[in-house]
Structure 1
Amino acid sequence: MGYIREQSNVIYRQLLRTRRPFVASITDGMGNEIFRIRRPFWLINSTIYTEVGKKVVGVVHRRWHLWRRIYDLYLGNKQFAVVENPGFWNWTFTLKDEEGNVLAQIDRDWRSLGLELFTDAGQYVIRFGNPDPSSKVGMTSVIPKLEITRPLTLTERAVVVALAVSLDTDYFSRRGGWGLPIFIVGE
């Protein structure tokens, strides 16, 4: 379907780890850039920008809290969603609008004890849902339905992808190979 390619300084990656600045290009299966996300260096609260053609179209801000994971999602200057994850061990992040209605959901899937313990290889599922639950056909009927208030626009979905990258970097990419860079090169 597509790729996420991070562009960052290898020294910053090793020294700053999860606080490092980076730019990531989101491309289609043919390698054409759809949009990019840019994350500057941060100390307390992270911010990640969604850019289309070098123009910022959306922003994700993390709000500091001792045990909860709270993110605000913006299109321009208008907030369209918030994520208030209830606890440290909860790996499901539900996006809600200002009235508390569900817009989408990001799940970090458990893969195996070995992968979770010894690597940073995470697998995420972004569920945008369907406002019409009767439209399920075929194999999609096996997947639990996510009832949403309204479908997100393509720009809002791009900001949700940026949120998923930010969640991975902020909370689940802690080890980084214990300081040893692991490079996987492929076409």
Structure 2
Amino acid sequence: MAGEEDAPSGICLHQDLDPARVQAKLKPLLSRARLIITRKVEWASIMFAYAQESRYIIKDPRTPRRKTVSPVGLIREKSNVILRQLLRTRRPFIAEFTDAKGNEIFTVRRPFRWINSSIYAEVDGKEVGVVHSRWHLWRRNYDLYLGNRQFAVVENPGFWSWSFTLLDEDDNLVAIIDRKIRGVGLELFTGAAQYEVWFGDAGKGTDKGFCLAKDMDNDLRVFLPLDLPERAVALALAVSLDHDCFSRRLGWCSPPVAIELTHVLVSFRVLRLLGA
């Protein structure tokens, strides 16, 4: 499989889960060193502020150039239409991660949140891990668990930073989730976000067992990559970040767009008065 890398196999702590089956289901998607997750444009949200179910496309940027970069996976939200309109980004939902043919790989479940959010990664309906947010006035903090074991933490410095680094208990970098800028028009009017998830390739590391720098091919080198269930939890975090930090109410009459249009009209009026 193009772009596929070896990843260590982890032990799922849920007693009803078969580790071999979990590995077999997760490997086709999560054994890759990098993934790009792109949220599809929601036209009903843009035009009428009608909250639609979120859809994402997953691609592997390391696909050989001679081949077409086609999706390696999809993410489809399932939620109640009324709760979507009332609760917006706080709504409960289930999102299915599937391969390009629509075969389910795993799911994430996000209950209703008021302040702090939680999102659960599940295989065959059994919980594998969970991400909990920790409230802070401006920082974006998350704790990632596999079963009852915390394996990573995210402490993003604030609204100006769109890179989320996952650190283990020894402060070693184990993965990165980058929010990418796709263009002013897309960012302003569509909210079609894109995230690049770096799991890294196994490298020689340093005396501390890990290497920070990216190599000449712009690949992240880590001493010990996350195992497959941990990577599933990291992708659950990417979905949670999209709803917690980067989603907004769209529509031509929604606040962000209305403010921008008002600014343009006022600026135009001022220029006309100055030119008079």
What is residue 153 of structure 1 aligned with on the other side? 227
Distance 2:127 2:142 in 1: 18
Alignment of 1:1-187 (within 5 A): 1-132=72-203, 143-177=217-251
Percent identity reads 65
What is residue 183 of structure 1 aligned with on the other side? none
Q: What is the total number of aligned residue pairs between the two structures?
A: 175
Distance 1:127 1:101 in 2: 14
Distance 2:82 2:217 in 1: 42
Which structure would you say has the larger RCO, counting Cα contacts within 8 Å and 6 or more residues apart?
2
TM-score scaled to structure 2, two decimals? 0.60
Give the 3-state SS of the residue equivalent to 2:108 in structure 1: strand
Distance 2:117 2:217 in 1: 32
The alignment's C-alpha RMSD in Å is 1.9
Distance 1:97 1:142 in 2: 25
1:85 and 1:94 in contact (8 A); partners too: yes
Give CA-to-partner distance per residue, 1:11-58, whole Å, 9 cap, x none. 211110110000000001111100000000010100000000010010
TM-score scaled to structure 1, two decimals? 0.88
| Deviation at residue 131 of structure 1 after TM alignment | 2.5
> Which runs of 5 or more residues in structure 2 are unaligned?
1-71, 206-213, 255-276
| Deviation at residue 141 of structure 1 after TM alignment | 6.6
Q: Larger strand proportion, structure 1 or 2?
A: 1
| Deviation at residue 167 of structure 1 after TM alignment | 0.2
What is residue 137 of structure 1 aligned with on the other side? none
> Which runs of 5 or more residues in structure 1 are unaligned?
135-139, 181-187
